[in-house]
Structure 1
């Protein structure tokens, strides 16, 4: 069971602005006989000491282009330090910004934007000339006095045309791009070789009330949705939000406890869910497909970590008795599911947590109970997500649950330990069948978080283990190289998994990266903080374990920061062991 609260910060928030500038109809020398024209707005969004943040909006007024490169030259020694929504490079005073995989196509009249942070030496003039695909755009917008503090509410983007009333896609990911979080993208791009994955879509975690509005150093929900409108262009785009702030959150862990106490259900409703719902219901966002992944690592605790179970905790007993997990999830599903373009996916654990007979069925019943609480109905659940922020392998190819060695079933191996499933794909499909059987719609789809379950690199087995014993057979062939299936914190040897993609297997709506790779699961030592996060020994590499992980070593990486903070060593480990390889 993983526990994570991603929070990243940039020095400047990304703001969307109304496009302005001088139009130039020119010949595009990089596109054959295509006619090119462009408008550019370069806006300084905030400025401090020797640093600044900027946002650039590019509008194509000529023939459609499949990719773009914008060039300009600084006159005052400014330097770009980090960016998002474009690949930026600088040589001397010359800067180039190249489109990403998701925003290269610009129809006639189409716009896109990117942002960056930079440094200056006291003078920070706006560049005088821009070139799009080698052709001058005939100037930028007139310089204006930059703000000295970040804007408190960025200008809004033009509203989009809403879809027909009540219409939803069967699979929101089909035929759609997925939002790339510019805050995570900038962190990834700043890592050595991180640009290889910096354009991948990841989830936006709303892990406390303050995350809704954001701050001077981080984007709020409206900031992300406005940025998503720019990334959307003329097609469909999915925005992935993590709803993660239940009262008494993560009752079986310490690394990711939350801000709300066990009894603060009213505060959860009125100060957290209601403001999120109000923003998502804004008509300007009606053209976005908004996927909400609802309350990671919550409801199954009411089955596996309560009295009568060997892994029981007093905190989980409290949450089962007061019913606030059930009430909170039901309320969230009802409020968010009432918005036509919102697709609710409820967290359904992972195979290393719920894959046993006495866990899977009761957990499905608990999920059904929450889906019918606080005015909600199962129709407000579009599907479920598994393996969120965990490490369980997507598919184990070297052995099957029905295999046996010398008459001993694979299920009897120490690794499988009588589990019904060997991997996340088989578990997701099996859990889907169980959920339909307890009353959810037969059309529900599943999401699988593949952000950290690739298990590639030199340690990846090429075939089954030796058939000398069932343990040798399984341990020698399994891709998942964790010491124990119950280990969940900053795992050594883990790698990036399958890249996000729609409809990859039967019953699966998408492989997704909901957990942003490189963000810590928890600190490897006690670190005082004001976020309510405790120290969980499962994040300590010297810890010798407990009943939940068979009293095994934790397998955690050393020197980890608080959950949600950037962990460079983990990011490098994930890239090194990626499967498919980068």
Structure 2
């Protein structure tokens, strides 16, 4: 058989042209591969989870492209204006917390925030954090002065949330896991009141249940049932903590199985992944080894409703050598691996 080329002369490329074409293709492939490995080196957790989120279900849920709201008043945005190294934090949606700082203005403050999210056609996420004896006098101590003040505050928040079915509400981080650890008054009664008031709004409410290393699944389910988790969307996990997404999903599923034993089915959950990129930390307070987690995203169709940034990365935990409040550059740079 002849080894002569069969292409017509006018279309047959010469050897130099073929070599150049192959070289260009090889170069392009190398650039892409290099970029992927650089991205993995900078942010391995983000690469792994973005691929998983796009190709597989998590707890029966698939990711959706519904945007989460970026509050223009975030402290990280102001910090990024001075130092662009903080851009990655500043450009990521995060929950807005309401507590003592909104004691008399919570209705208006939440209303303005929700209006901003509606104008941006994005899903807002908020944290209600003002139960009496909050944090039992530790670093995040504070809260309403008494039960009546708390109930009035919750009612005002519920009025602002009325009809906002798209809103995500995280109710009182640590309050249920901390039950009975200090003089708290009728904490169960206050949480039950909050759940009842918020359940009428239409918002997606998640009662905080701590994390995998706090309560056993059976105890978490027992406490959630007591305060009425069956009346709202479900529960939240890992708020302001560092446990991995996978292990928290597994814990959430165990809690759900325990809830089913109590006759409660269909409770969904959300997980805070803002600072879990390096996994569990020995110290929970501004730990230097912590890293940002993957980008937040909403999920639908199964048990998981969202992987969110609930605790704002870069804002101090109030201890561990940091200031009591505010965006703290050293801890933010640590989360960025800088």
- Shorter-chain TM-score range: 0.7 to 0.9
Shift of 1:498: 1.6
1:561–1:431 CA distance, 2 compared to 1 (3 A): same
Aligned to 2:292: 496
Among 342, 360, 372, the alignment partner of 2:217 is 360
Q: Contact conserved, 2:93 with 2:296, CA < 8 A, in 1?
A: yes
- CA change 1:348–1:259 in 2 (3 A) is closer
Q: CA deviation at 1:295?
A: 0.7
Counterpart selection for 1:227 from 94, 101, 116: 116
Q: Identify which of 73, 77, 83 aligns with 1:186.
A: 77
> Shift of the alpha carbon at 1:317?
4.4
Say if 2:272 is the partner of 1:388: no
Distance 1:238 1:439, change over 3 A: farther
Q: Which residue of 2 aligns with 1:162?
A: none
CA distance in 1, matches of 2:132, 2:327: 25
Q: 2:177 aligns with which of 285, 289, 300?
A: 300
Contact 1:213-1:222 within 8 A present in 2 as well: no
Q: Distance in 2 between matches of 1:212 and 1:380?
A: 27
Aligned to 2:267: 444
The verdict on how the C-alpha distance between 1:384 and 1:180 changes in structure 2, with shifts beyond 3 A counting, is: same
Residues 1:519 and 1:197: Cα distance change in structure 2 (over 3 Å)? closer
Flag structure 1 segments of 5+ consecutive residues without an equivalent.
1-170, 307-315, 372-377, 396-422, 456-478, 524-538, 540-557, 578-582
Pairwise mapping of residues 63-102 of structure 1 onto structure 2 (< 5 A)?
A: none
Separation in structure 2 between the aligned mates of residue 566 and residue 364 of structure 1, nearest angstrom: 35
* Deviation of the 1:389 alpha carbon: 0.6
Instruction: Kindly report which structure 2 residues correspond to 1:196-211, keeping only aligned pairs within 5 A, or say none.
Output: 196-208=88-100, 210=102
Which residue of structure 1 aligns with residue 201 of structure 2?
Answer: 339
Q: Give the corresponding residue for 2:167.
A: 290
Q: Which is richer in helix?
A: 2
2:14 — aligned with what? none
- Report the alpha carbon displacement of residue 573 of structure 1 after superposing the two structures with TM: 0.7
The answer (yes or no) to whether the contact 1:211–1:220 under 8 Å persists in 2 is no
| Alpha carbons of structure 1 residues 212 and 291: separation in structure 2 relative to 1, 3 Å | farther
CA contact (8 A) 1:188 1:194 kept: yes
Match of 2:129 in 1: 244
What is the CA deviation profile of residues 112-149 of structure 1, one whole-angstrom value per residue up to 9, with x for unaligned ones?
xxxxxxxxxxxxxxxxxxxxxxxxxxxxxxxxxxxxxx
1:515 maps to: 311
Contact 2:77 2:91 in 1 (8 A): no
Paired with 1:364 and 1:393, the residues of 2 have a C-alpha distance of 21
Q: CA RMSD in A?
A: 2.6
Equivalent residue number for residue 148 of structure 2: 266
Structure 1 residue 325 and structure 2 residue 187: aligned? yes
Look up the SS of the partner of 1:453 in the other structure: coil
What secondary structure is seen at the aligned counterpart in 1 of 2:315?
A: coil
Go from structure 1 to structure 2 and tell me whether the alpha carbon gap of 1:425 and 1:504 turns closer, same or farther (over 3 Å shift).
Answer: farther
* Pair 1:435 & 2:259 matched: yes
Q: Which has the higher strand share?
A: 1
Distance 1:203 1:223, change over 3 A: same
The runs of 5 or more residues in structure 2 that have no matched partner are: 1-60
- Whether 1:566 and 2:327 are equivalent positions in the alignment is yes
SS at match of 1:197: helix
Deviation, 1:198, is 1.9
CA positional deviation for 1:510:
1.2
Q: Is the 8 A contact 2:89 2:313 kept in 1?
A: no
What's the CA shift for 1:505?
9.9
Q: Is the 8 A contact 2:174 2:210 kept in 1?
A: yes
- Offset of 1:365 from its aligned partner? 1.0
Cα deviation for residue 494 of structure 1 reads 0.4
Structure 1 residues 286-307: Cα deviation after superposition (integer angstroms, max 9, x where no partner): 46611111110011222xxx5x
CA deviations on 1:328-365 (whole Å, 9 max, x unpaired) are 1111111111013x1110101111212xxxx3322321
> C-alpha distance in 2, partners of 1:500/1:369?
30
Aligned-partner Cα distance in 1 for 2:164–2:109: 19
Aligned equivalents of 1:384 and 1:208: distance in 2? 23
Give how far 1:444 is off. Answer: 1.9
Q: Distance in 1 between matches of 2:96 and 2:103?
A: 10
Q: What is the count of residue pairs matched by the alignment?
A: 276
Quote the Cα distance in structure 1 between the aligned partners of 2:205 and 2:131.
16
Contact preservation (8 Å) 1:229, 1:288: no
State how far apart, in whole Å, the 2-side matches of 1:439 and 1:250 are: 31
Q: Which digits, 9 at most, give the CA deviation of each residue in 1:87-125, with x for residues without a partner?
A: xxxxxxxxxxxxxxxxxxxxxxxxxxxxxxxxxxxxxxx
Structure 2 length-normalised TM: 0.74
1:102 aligns to what?
A: none
Q: Is the 8 A contact 1:448 1:512 kept in 2?
A: yes
Question: Does the Cα contact within 8 Å between 2:129 and 2:173 map onto a contact in 1?
Answer: yes
Q: What is the aligned counterpart of 2:140 among 256, 260, 271?
A: 256
Partners of 1:338 and 1:505 in 2: CA distance: 23
Aligned with 1:515: secondary structure?
Answer: coil
